[in-house]
Amino acid sequence: MELSELITLFKEQFNRDPQVLAEAPGRVNLLGEHTDYNDGFVFPAAIDRSMKILASSRDDNDVRVYSADFSQLSSFSLSSIEACRSETWSNYLRGVADQLIKNGFSIRGGDFLISGNVPVGAGLSSSAAYEVAAGAAFREMYELKMDNIQLALLSQAAERQFVGVQCGIMDQFVSANAKAATALFLDCRDLTYQNIPLKTNVSIIVCDSDVQRALNNSAYNNRRTECEKAAKILNEKFPGARALRDIPLQGVEENKAKLGETLYKRAHHVVSENERVLMGIDILRKGDMHTFGNLLFESHSSLKNSFEVSCPELDLLVELASGCSGILGSRMTGAGFGGCTVSLVESGHAENFKTTVQPEYDRRTGKNSRIYECMPSSGVKAQKL
C-alpha cells in the first residue's frame, strides 16, 4: 500500500494524524545458514520489501495496533503485556514493547498501523522486519537512546519470548544494520560486521516454493539443541570451545564415532558452512562470482544432506536453477522446511531464469511459486512526519 493510503487509514482508525514512520526490510541470506546460533558467521542482504509502521504517541499506557493487511485491530496495556491468541500478528509489537520495558526504556503507549510487502511464512524474515520497525517506531516517538545493535538484540529477544522461536541474531541484525547495494558479513559471536559491496551485474532471485514453513514448529529448536549437544561432546576434546564455531572440520571428522551419525552430520554442516562464509567473503572481494556461486550450491547440499532442513520442493528449485544459462549459484535460504531459494544469476539471464524455472516448477509440483528479483537494500529507517 502507498504511504498516502496508509496515512488515510491511520486517520480513519485512530481519528488523529500519525507522528512517525518507521520502515524495516526483510532479508535474504546468501551464505551461512544455521550458523548464527552457533556463534558463527552469516552473510545476508536486506531486500527491497519491508514492513512499514505509522505511529503516534499516547499519554497513557494503552497500545492500539491496526494491521492494514489483516484489517484487524488489537489492543493491550503496557502494564500487563501478554501474548495474544487471536490476533497473533500483534505479538511482535507486544514482544518489542515488553522488551523495551524490561530493558529499562521509558515508554508510554501508542497508536500503530502496520503494513508490509514481505511475504509472510516464506523465510524472508517478515517477523524480524516487523519487530525492528516496531522498535524503531518506539525509539523515534520517545527519543530512546538505543543504537541499531541494541535494537536488533531487543527484537530478537521479543521473537524468542513472545513467538517461541529460539532464533539467532541474523534476521533482526541485518534488518537493522544493512546498507544498500551490499550484503552484511556478521560475526554472530561479537556482533562485529562489515557491509560488503555486491556486484551490480549479478541478479539476486528469490523463488518462493509455496511450501509454507512453520518456523515455530519444533524442528528449528530441535536443530539448535542438537548443535548444542554436539558442541558439548566436542568440548571434551577442545576444552576452550564454547560453540561449534570453535571446532575445526578435522575435529568433527576425528570425533565422528563419539558424536554418532546425527550429531556428526549437524556439526559437519555448521563447521563447513562457517568455512564457506569466510571463503566466500575472500572470493567476493576478488570479484570471482563463479566460485562464490559454487559455494551456494555446496551450502545447499550440506543443508539437504547433513543438516536435513531442505525439502523436495526446494531441492527441485535448486536443480532447475542449476540448469539455467547464466546461473552462478543457488540454494535454500532461511531456516528451511519450505520457504524460498536464493539464486545468483548473471543479470542478462535473469528474465530467462524466471520464465524457465517458475512454470517448470509449478508444472511438476502443482504449486504456485512466486519469483522476486531482489535489490540489496538499506536497513531500518525512521522519521518524524
| Active-site annotation, residues | 171
Burial 269-293 (b: 16+ CB within 10 A, else e): bbbbbbbbbeebbebbeeeebeebb
Please tell me the count of residues contacting ligand GLA according to CB under 6 A: 10
Which residue in 36, 39, 111, 140 binds ligand GLA (CB under 6 A)?
A: 36
By CB under 6 A, is residue 33 in contact with ligand GLA?
yes
- Rule CB under 6 A: say whether 320 interacts with ligand GLA: no
Smallest CA-to-CA distance from 183 within 285, 313, 302 is with 285
> Please, which residues have CB within 8 angstroms of residue 186's CB and are 6 or more apart in sequence?
36, 41, 42, 43, 44, 169, 170, 173, 174, 192, 193
Q: Is 334 in the site for ligand GLA (CB under 6 A)?
A: yes
Least Å distance between CB 61 and ligand GLA? 30
Least Cα distance to 317 among 351, 268, 259, 363 occurs for: 363
Measured from the CB atom, the residue of 110 and 135 that comes closer to ligand GLA is 135
Binds ligand GLA (CB under 6 A): choice among 21, 24, 31, 37: 37
CB burial of residue 149 (10 Å; 0-12, 13-18, 19+): middle
Q: Judged by CB under 6 A, which stretch of 28-36, 81-89, 139-147, 190-198 contacts ligand GLA?
A: 28-36
Residue number, 175 or 255, with CB nearest to ligand GLA: 175
Residue selected from 100, 133, 327, 335 as contacting ligand GLA according to rule CB under 6 A = 335
User: In the bound complex, what is the minimum distance in angstroms from residue 168's beta carbon to ligand GLA?
Assistant: 3
Closer residue to ligand GLA in complex, CB, 56/127: 127
Q: How far is the CB of 118 from ligand GLA (least distance, A)?
A: 13
Please report, in angstroms and rounded to a whole number, the separation of the first and last CA atoms in the chain: 17
The span from the CA of 159 to the CA of 175, in Å, is 14
CB of 229 to ligand GLA, least distance (A): 17
Is residue 118 close enough to count as binding ligand GLA by CB under 6 A?
A: no
**Stretch of 63-71, 165-173, 290-298, 317-325 contacting ligand GLA, by CB under 6 A:** 165-173
* Residue 170 in contact with ligand GLA, rule: CB under 6 A: yes
Residue from 22, 34, 280, 332 binding ligand GLA (CB under 6 A): 34
Residue 247 binding ligand GLA, by CB under 6 A? no
Phi, psi of 63 (to 5 degrees): -120, 130
Q: Phi and psi at residue 264, in whole multiples of 5°? A: -60, -45
Do the beta carbons of residue 128 and residue 171 sit within 8 Å? yes
Q: Considering only 167-175, 190-198, 233-241, 289-297, which stretch makes contact with ligand GLA by CB under 6 A? A: 167-175
* Beta carbon of residue 318, minimum distance to ligand GLA (angstroms, whole number): 16
Burial class (CB in 10 A: 0-12, 13-18, 19+), 370: middle
- For residue 65, give the C-alpha cell: 495496533
- When the beta carbons of 216 and 358 are compared against ligand GLA, the nearer one is 216
Residues making up the chain, counted from first to last: 385
For ligand GLA, give the closer residue by CB, 170 or 317: 170
Is the CB of 78 or the CB of 227 nearer to ligand GLA?
227
CA distances in angstroms from 246 to 211, 235, 243, listed in the order given: 34, 9, 6
User: Nearer Cβ to ligand GLA, position 34 or 300?
Assistant: 34
The answer to whether 304 contacts ligand GLA (rule: CB under 6 A) is: no
- Spatial distance between the Cα atoms of 155 and 176, rounded to a whole number of angstroms: 10
- Dist CA 69 CA 64 (whole Å): 15
Residue 168 as a binder of ligand GLA (CB under 6 A): the answer is yes
- 110 is an interface residue for ligand GLA by CB under 6 A: no
Q: Does 167 bind ligand GLA (CB under 6 A)?
A: yes
Residue 280 gets the label, from left (phi > 0), alpha (psi -120 to 50) or beta, of alpha
DSSP 159: I
C-alpha cell at 106: 521509558
Binding site for ligand GLA (CB under 6 A): 33-34, 36-37, 167-168, 170-171, 334-335
